[in-house]
Amino acid sequence: MSIDSELIKELEGRVGIAEKPLFYEIEKGMIKRFTRAVGDTNPLWQDEKYAGKAGYGGIIAPPNFILILGFGKVLQNLIENPEVTVLHGSTELERHKEIKPGDVISVTNTIRNVRERQGSTGKMLFVTIDMLYENQNQEIVAECRQMTIIY
């Protein structure tokens, strides 16, 4: 299936409009499962005593942990047609503050740009999404820019 003009118009109409925030309560198990899954053995993410002695008061999430919060929902909201493929294109991440168990992180997504290109199989869309992550104190913990490819 190729990209139709209705989808292009719909996505272009959402450029610059912040979507309703998604909320995630962070717990130790999430952090530990994530670090085991990616093979990151840094004791700051795994060992309460070590992280406490390092000045964090307990384990913290690794910087790339933030990327799992909300991106699946972004893709789902971006396009609901199962016949269209959505691929990850690129990621730019800037972390401002550590994430700890007990934090409640809100993720606000805004489509920044939609570009159309002709590919060998038909139209392709390059959609850039800005993601703002804030904690329960409305402090920015991270900013991310994701580019997705839709064909």
User: Read out DSSP for 97-120?
Assistant: S---TT-EEEEEEEEEEEEEEEET
Residues 17, 87, single domain; the answer is: yes
Domain containing 13 — which CATH number? 3.10.129.10
What is the pLDDT at residue 78? 65
Tell me which residue range forms the domain holding 71. 5-25+64-150
Residues 109, 43, single domain; the answer is: no
| pLDDT tens, N- to C-terminus, the chain (151 residues) | 457 788 788 889 999 999 999 999 999 999 999 999 999 999 999 999 999 999 999 999 999 999 989 777 766 666 666 777 888 899 999 999 999 999 999 999 999 999 999 878 788 899 999 999 999 999 999 999 999 998 8
Residues 12, 73, single domain; the answer is: yes
